[in-house]
Structure 1
C-alpha cells in the first residue's frame, strides 16, 4: 500500500530544490481612521519555503477573426510549481518570487499564478500553474 506521507517527503526532497516567496496583493483600499483617507492594503507574504519550478508548454488553438478566420496555433510557455502538501492555498494572481534556485538564472524571476492549484483524491504535493511575469535584477 502506498504511504501518502512518505511520497510527500520524497517529493519535497527530490522535486523541490528551490525556495520561493508567494505574495498576495492587497484588496480594496481601506479607511485610515487617523487621516480619513483611503489607503491601499499592503501585500501579504502567504508562503515562504520549498518549491520546484518546471517549464511547461501549452499548445493553444483558436479561430482567427472574421467570418472565414483560419485556425491559429500558438505555443505559450508556462510553468508548473510544486509545493509541499502543507503549503497554504495559492490564489490566482498571487505573485511568486524565486529566492534561491539550483539554476542561478531563475533567482529573481517572478511569476503570476495563472490558475487555482490542482486538487487530488490522493494528494502528495500541490501543483500550481504559473506564467512568467518579469525578472528582477539580482546583485552578484
Structure 2
C-alpha cells in the first residue's frame, strides 16, 4: 500500500503557505437577551488553519441573446488547497484569507462554489471558490 503521509506533509509545507478562516452561516435567528429581538446567529467556524490559494480561469460557453448565438466568457475562479484532515466544506461556506504571502489577499473573502474534490489516492483537499468580497486599498 502506498504511504501518502510524506506527500501530504510536502503539500502542506510547500503548497499551503497561507492561513484561512472558514465559516458557515447556520441560518437560524437567535434571541438577543439584551433587546429581546431575534438577530442572525453568529457564523459557525468550520476550519481555521493552513491553506493555499491559487487562481484559475474558467472558460464558459453559453447561448446568449435571442438569436441563440454562443457566447464565450472567461471567469476568475480560485482553487483552495487544504490539509487532508480539514473538515469537508459545503457550498456557500465563506473563506476569509487571514494570512497570506500575497499581502493583497489578506482580508478577501471567497464563497465555496462546489463540494471538495475526492480521490482514490488522497493527499490533500481541493475546493473550488468564487471571489466574494475584494477589499482593495484606496
- TM superposition score normalised by structure 1: 0.88
What's 1:19 paired with? Answer: 19
1:101-124 Cα shifts (integer Å, max 9, x gaps): 111111111111111111111111
What's 2:84 paired with? Answer: 85
What's 1:51 paired with? Answer: 51
The structural deviation recorded for 1:38 is 3.9
1:58-113 Cα shifts (integer Å, max 9, x gaps): 000001132x3210000000000000000011111011111111111111111111
The structural deviation recorded for 1:32 is 7.1
The structural deviation recorded for 1:48 is 0.5
Q: Could you say what secondary structure the match of 1:89 adopts?
A: coil
List gaps (5 residues or longer) in structure 1: none
Task: State the Cα RMSD in Å.
Answer: 2.0
What's 1:64 paired with? Answer: 64
List gaps (5 residues or longer) in structure 2: none
The structural deviation recorded for 1:2 is 3.6
Q: Distance in 1 between matches of 2:19 and 2:77?
A: 19
- TM superposition score normalised by structure 2: 0.89
| Count, aligned residues | 137
Q: How does 1:1-140 map to 2 (within 5 A)?
A: 2-30=2-30, 38-66=38-66, 68-136=67-135
